[in-house]
Amino acid sequence: MTQNTSLPESTIDQHTQPASVTEYANLCQHLVNAAMHSPDLLAVAVQQAKGNGQYQYQELTFAELDKQSDELAYKLNASGIKQGMKAVLMVTPSIAFFNLTFALFKAGIIPILVDPGMGINNLKQCFIEAKPDAFIGIPKAHIARRVLGWGKDSVKYCINVGGNRFQRWLAGCLSIESLKQVNGTQYNRYPMVKLAEDEMAAILFTSGSTGTPKGVVYSHKMFEAQISALKHDYGISVGERDLATFPLFSLFGPALGMASIVPDMDASKPITAEPKHLFAAISQYQCSNMFVNPALLERLGQAGEQTQHKLTSVKRVISAGAPATISSIKRFSKMLESKVEVLNSYGATESLPISKIASSALFATTDKTDQGAGICVGQAIEGVEIAIIDIVEPPIAHWTDNLALATDQIGEIVVKGAMVSQAYYQRDSATAGAKIQDGTQMRHRMGDVGYLDANNQLWMCGRKAHRVDASVKGQFEKRYFSIPCERVFNTHAQVKRSALVPVTIDGNVVPLVCIELNKGVVCSTSKVLYQNLVELATLYPHTQGISRFFIHPEFPVDVRHNAKIFREKLAIWAQKQWKE
Give the least confident one: 173-182, 200-209, 261-270, 398-407. Answer: 173-182
pLDDT in tens, 42-69: 999 999 999 888 999 999 999 999 999 9
Nearest to 57 by CA among 260, 197, 201, 233: 260
Per-residue pLDDT, 443: 98
Query: How much is the pLDDT for 170?
Result: 83
How is domain 467-579 classified at the CATH fold level? GMP Synthetase; Chain A, domain 3 (3.30.300)
Q: Using the predicted structure, report yes or no on whether residue 341 has a pLDDT greater than 80.
A: yes
Residue 116: per-residue pLDDT = 72
Query: In the chain, what percentage of residues exceed pLDDT 90?
Result: 76
pLDDT at position 19: 37
Helices (H), 205-314: 220-232, 247-255, 275-285, 294-307
pLDDT of 185 above 90: no
Poorest-confidence range of 155-164, 410-419, 523-532? 523-532
Separation CA 433–CA 354 (nearest Å): 20
pLDDT band (50, 70, 90) for residue 35: very high
Q: Does the pLDDT value for residue 388 go beyond 70?
A: yes
What's the confidence (pLDDT) of residue 63?
97
DSSP codes, 514-556: EEEEPTT--GGGHHHHHHHHHHHHTTSTTTTT---EEE-SS--
- Mean pLDDT (whole number) for 117-137: 88
What is the per-residue pLDDT across 361-384, written as a single tens digit (0 to 9) for each?
A: 999 999 999 999 999 999 999 999
Under the banding of pLDDT at 50, 70 and 90, the label for residue 172 is confident
Lowest mean pLDDT among 13-22, 249-258, 335-344, 487-496: 13-22
pTM: 0.91
Residue 298 has pLDDT above 80, yes or no: yes
Rounded CA gap, 4 and 87, in Å?
Answer: 18
Q: What are phi and psi of 32, to 5 degrees?
A: -60, -45
pLDDT of the residue at 219 = 95
pLDDT value at residue 190: 94
Cβ of 246: how many Cβ atoms within 10 Å?
A: 20
Q: Which of 114-118, 175-179, 409-413 has the lowest mean pLDDT?
A: 114-118
Taking 90 as the threshold, does the pLDDT of residue 164 lie above it? Answer: no
CB 408 within 8 A of CB 442: no
Mean pLDDT score of the chain: 90
Across residues 232-259, what is the average pLDDT?
Answer: 91
**Burial status of residue 523 (CB atoms within 10 A of its CB: 0-12, 13-18, 19 or more):** exposed
Query: How many Cβ atoms are within 10 Å of 178's Cβ, its own excluded?
Result: 12
Q: Give the residue-averaged pLDDT of 310-338.
A: 94
